[in-house]
Amino acid sequence: MPYNTFGMDVRAKVVAEYASVEELTDLLKKYKGERLLAVGEGSNLLFTKDFDGVVLVSRMCRARALKETDKEVWIEAESGLKMDNLIEQLVDMNLMGMENMSYIPGTVGASAVQNVGAYGVEAKDVIERVETIEITSSRTRVFTNKECRFGYRDSIFKNELRGQYIVTKVVYRLQKEGELHPERLKIDKPHCTVADIREAVIAIRKSKLPEVGELGSAGSFFKNPVIRPEHYQTLSQQYPDMPHYVQEDGIKIPAAWLIEQCGWKGKKQGGAQVYDKQPLVIVNADHATPEDIMALAQAVCDSVQKKFGISISPEVNYI
């Protein structure tokens, strides 16, 4: 099945594509009672075995401006549109808000489910509302930003409403002017633009992450953990160079740094490997099986827990 960027050799009972809400509702009626899984590019999934059900693939790929004021523009994008294609268009329009998330693999629909983010910006910062179809009734339901209950790489669609709704459209609220976020980006310009930020982000991601299609991966495999301030204070005495970022709920520690300190960078186990340019990534280096990927991920988590007393967990969804 080609709908997963890890390149796992798995099959589904049925793979069905749809290019409109009407086609989706027809499929929901046709396959009522079957196990369903809605995907975009499969860039944040690890299929652990053959999928005994119907994989629904969005081919809804349009975007349009809904309304505009002197300072803002609301853009409605369909779920199957590649997120980076959308961001490229927004940057060309000089609209601010999503440029830090450039070159993240995946689709618009996944951005709302996963609350994707990078370099201090998350999808929740710009999402106005999310339009969905309820699987059991085929009724449309619109979720406000607040109703989505966004968290770090998290949303209501991954928790209470998991498997109950399929995202069809997302409305983003972008700025014509305002504050850019070049923090953590090495931009040597006194006044940078959205295009400068996009260019810098793409350069960084290309230097650290494997290209989708060349080496199987799901991008960043692990979430960055947030620990209690007192835990950080204790660790910082032993590791004074430990990078950290102050959050409302604690201190965020880069998982990549923790993994590298445990000696995993470039290490292989079976056909899976911790990527030698970015230890946050696990790659399918040599015909890896799902078991290879899961075993390596668990070994990394165990190692970080033992050395630092910090729990890290996969960002990737196991199916």
Q: Which residues are catalytic?
A: 153, 220, 315
Q: Read off the amino acid at residue 54.
A: V
**Closest listed residue to residue 182, CA positions, set 168, 196, 167, 165:** 196
- Do residues 138 and 105 touch, judged by C-beta distance below 8 A? no
- Do residues 217 and 275 touch, judged by C-beta distance below 8 A? yes
- Do residues 223 and 152 touch, judged by C-beta distance below 8 A? yes
Tokens 């960002």 correspond to what residue? 315
C-alpha count within 13 angstroms, C-beta hemisphere, residue 51: 26
- The whole-angstrom separation of Cα 208 and Cα 182 is 18
Q: For residue 268, count other CB atoms closer than 10 A to its CB.
A: 15
H or E stretch including 90?
helix 83-92
H or E stretch including 78?
strand 72-78
- The whole-angstrom separation of Cα 229 and Cα 110 is 32
Tokens 């729990």 correspond to what residue? 311
Q: What angle do CA 3, 279, 97 make, to 5 degrees?
A: 65
| Beta-carbon contacts of residue 61 (< 8 Å; ≥ 6 apart) | 19, 78, 80, 81, 82
